[in-house]
Chains A and B, each alone.
Chain A
């Protein structure tokens, strides 16, 4: 088993977020369909093998089967129906589902918005006064409602922005181009559903910086998967399967005519113009609002080179992520203009090029402290044996353990890899008020071949808290040298929350403050 498998395990566990809530209704629906299939008798599309004698029983027997299938899950079905009715009533009461409504009011998302998992232990909720419909542009084909970009702040220091079709001040998707069964209605997004957008940490002045682009966004703005056979069914597709697929109206028809190039972002308060390329030249738009918001919606045209399209922002401590084939230039009030990278192989030209930066970004938290302010004894406890790790969403404060005889609920046994775990404990003398602008980082050097690993606390921490984190020790069985490590306090941050985790703290990395060092030997 390679380390890659272990990483895939962790990725799978992260993608399992909310699995329990999703599994029950899915199982109930599947069981109902299976029960209906059994009740329908032999399927004309099935091609039984030699073992199939097609001896389906009399109706009474079928009824018993249905009874058994339904009898297994009456609670789930009843719960599903109750929830469906309740949701319908609630939606009607709230005036959603395509009805006209007033400007959106403050709301608390039912779950964390995308991106705010960066701050799982912080408060969440949309700050109502921050909700702003920043940009509205017409559809380039003149089809359906305009497109809009909405921004709003979320408690915990995040700014979210959602893009899509705009109607009555709301952002959503339209039931057209194959989406939502072509029902012709407007389907508004909730605050938790940022559509094509995302959430990023705000800077010290409350502004956010990010850029997003999609070269082939569904014209409905639904972000739904494509229809399986947009150009019609091939002859080999069975009739029953065609009917089922056709009934799945919840799928976009992804022909080029039904797609748009959609790019949007927040350039900051100092941006004054943005120029982008089209198939016929360039266009210039003026960023709007305090965040410098822009929204581009154009027909899909292969002539437009869009590097990074289909890839969302991120950025870095001092860089800016741009769909650089699309964006040609940005101008600022008090800074030189920024240009897209030159499309050349000439080395001298490339070296002269200076990448765009997030002009106006102010790091949100940079306290004037010394290492004496954060220094603390660091203790470690080393345990060996098969390791049990948490399933579900990754929570930094949930410690992995050595597996007892019976794997505890919520854990799973780690396959292969190291069987040594170290718990690192220290006193956090300096608080972490917001995980998006400071953190404690801890790292180990495995003592051989320069290898090691590290992580960060990624949680809000009160001053004086005793903090414990775990780390699995990866190293060769032949390595006998002691493992050394350190804990550092890192108040460094760049736009979009990317933290420069100071793994080089042994030599005193700039912008980091040493809490303490430790060492231990790995049991044989």
Chain B
């Protein structure tokens, strides 16, 4: 692979479309993994391909002299496609929670045990994610799974970094609330660790 930046490659691909192949090679695995986490095998393959097709066809819109992140732009396209399939995502998260076999319990002694066993929170967390509204879930997983900064998420979603921070805060609070006592304890633990 060349050492050219993503933006350089993208601009070059306007006149030399084969340059886009390198962008594909660089970023397809991560975008596919991100989509697969959210939507499962079949849709992820389809939408990852669609993401790069749309990116290729609209590469001229990335803008002359743009300093924005190409990665954020790609995830922005992917986010638009995910949005149209949010019900599939919610089903997948619920299916995961079901398969993992441990649903959140209202029984106090089990709740305490689960709070102490972070691994046991996976299914409950999946359900909590499924309960989030699509815009809040989008911000949370772009941050946690795509590892985008607030600014990159803002670029991907076409909103301000302040709006991203606000949504991220609301998403975290809502997930913690969904996890009930255990979620609250997790946040407290996090505070302790700071």
Q: For the complex, what is the distance from the CA of A200 to the CA of B102, rounded to whole Å?
A: 11
With A22-B41, A312-B98 as contacts: A3 and B118 at CB distance below 8 Å: yes
> Is the beta-carbon distance between B28 and A30 smaller than 8 angstroms?
yes
Q: How many A-B residue pairs have CB under 8 A?
A: 234
Q: Is B77 an interface residue (CB 8 A)?
A: no
List 17 other contacts, CB 8 Å, given A16-B36, A117-B100, A310-B94: A3-B190, A4-B176, A9-B144, A38-B17, A38-B18, A38-B20, A43-B57, A51-B63, A223-B91, A225-B39, A225-B85, A250-B42, A316-B105, A319-B107, A418-B193, A456-B117, A498-B110
Q: Return 11 A-B CB contacts under 8 Å, by A number.
A: A19-B33, A23-B32, A27-B29, A30-B49, A49-B63, A117-B99, A225-B39, A314-B101, A475-B193, A497-B101, A503-B117
Which of these, A11, A37, A115, contacts B99 with CB under 8 Å?
A115
The closest CB in chain A to the CB of B33 belongs to A19
Per CB-CB distance, the 10 closest pairs between chain A and chain B, nearest first, are: A52-B60, A314-B103, A225-B88, A48-B60, A26-B45, A30-B49, A8-B144, A312-B98, A2-B190, A65-B18
> Is the beta-carbon distance between A474 and B193 smaller than 8 angstroms?
yes
Q: Is A242 an interface residue (CB 8 A)?
A: no
| Residues in chain A near residue B44, CB distance under 8 A | 22, 26
Q: For the complex, what is the distance from the CA of A127 to the CA of B61, rounded to whole Å?
A: 58
> Is the beta-carbon distance between A454 and B113 smaller than 8 angstroms?
yes
Scan residues 479-524 of chain A and give those whose CB is less than 8 A from a CB of chain B: 496-498, 500-504
Q: Is B79 an interface residue (CB 8 A)?
A: no
Q: Which of A162-170, A424-432, A445-453 contacts B (4 or more CB under 8 A)?
A: A445-453
Scan residues 1-23 of chain A and give those whose CB is less than 8 A from a CB of chain B: 2-12, 14-16, 18-19, 22-23
Scan residues 7-28 of chain B and give those whose CB is less than 8 A from a CB of chain A: 11, 14-15, 17-18, 20-21, 24-25, 28
| Residues in chain A near residue B126, CB distance under 8 A | 11
Q: Is B175 an interface residue (CB 8 A)?
A: yes
| Residues in chain B near residue A454, CB distance under 8 A | 113, 116-117
> Is the beta-carbon distance between A65 and B119 smaller than 8 angstroms?
no
With A3-B186, A51-B11, A118-B101 as contacts: A29 and B45 at CB distance below 8 Å: yes
With A4-B190, A311-B94 as contacts: A228 and B85 at CB distance below 8 Å: yes
The closest CB in chain A to the CB of B21 belongs to A69
The closest CB in chain A to the CB of B43 belongs to A225
Which of these, B64, B101, B113, contacts A500 with CB under 8 Å?
B113
Residues 67-103 of B, flagged 1 when their CB comes within 8 A of A and 0 if not, give: 0000000000000000011011001001111111111
Q: Is A344 an interface residue (CB 8 A)?
A: no
| Residues in chain B near residue A10, CB distance under 8 A | 118-119, 122
Q: Is B58 an interface residue (CB 8 A)?
A: yes
> Is the beta-carbon distance between A22 and B119 smaller than 8 angstroms?
no
* Chain B interface residues (CB < 8 Å from chain A): 11, 14-15, 17-18, 20-21, 24-25, 28-29, 32-33, 36-37, 39, 41-46, 48-50, 52-53, 56-64, 84-85, 87-88, 91, 94-103, 105, 107, 109-110, 112-114, 116-122, 125-127, 129, 140-141, 143-145, 172, 175-176, 183, 186-187, 189-190, 192-193
Q: Is A206 an interface residue (CB 8 A)?
A: no
Q: For the complex, what is the distance from the CA of A248 to the CA of B143, rounded to whole Å?
A: 30
Q: Is A438 an interface residue (CB 8 A)?
A: no
Q: For the complex, what is the distance from the CA of A498 to the CA of B42, rounded to whole Å?
A: 31
Q: Is A462 an interface residue (CB 8 A)?
A: no
| Residues in chain B near residue A394, CB distance under 8 A | 119
Q: For the complex, what is the distance from the CA of A394 to the CA of B123, rounded to whole Å?
A: 13
| Residues in chain A near residue B28, CB distance under 8 A | 27, 30
The closest CB in chain B to the CB of A201 belongs to B101
> Is the beta-carbon distance between A498 and B102 smaller than 8 angstroms?
yes
Shortest C-beta distance, B108 to chain A (Å), equals 11
> Is the beta-carbon distance between B52 and A34 smaller than 8 angstroms?
yes
With A33-B49, A500-B113 as contacts: A12 and B37 at CB distance below 8 Å: yes
| Residues in chain B near residue A64, CB distance under 8 A | 18
> Is the beta-carbon distance between A3 and B49 smaller than 8 angstroms?
no
> Is the beta-carbon distance between B45 and A34 smaller than 8 angstroms?
no
> Is the beta-carbon distance between A29 and B49 smaller than 8 angstroms?
yes
The closest CB in chain A to the CB of B119 belongs to A455
Q: For the complex, what is the distance from the CA of A447 to the CA of B96, rounded to whole Å?
A: 34
Shortest C-beta distance, A503 to chain B (Å), equals 4
Which of these, B53, B62, B110, B175, contacts A4 with CB under 8 Å?
B175
Which of these, B24, B85, B141, contacts A34 with CB under 8 Å?
B24
Shortest C-beta distance, A416 to chain B (Å), equals 8
Scan residues 417-466 of chain A and give those whose CB is less than 8 A from a CB of chain B: 417-418, 443, 449, 451-456
Which of these, B45, B84, B98, B110, contacts A30 with CB under 8 Å?
B45
> Is the beta-carbon distance between B21 and A5 smaller than 8 angstroms?
no
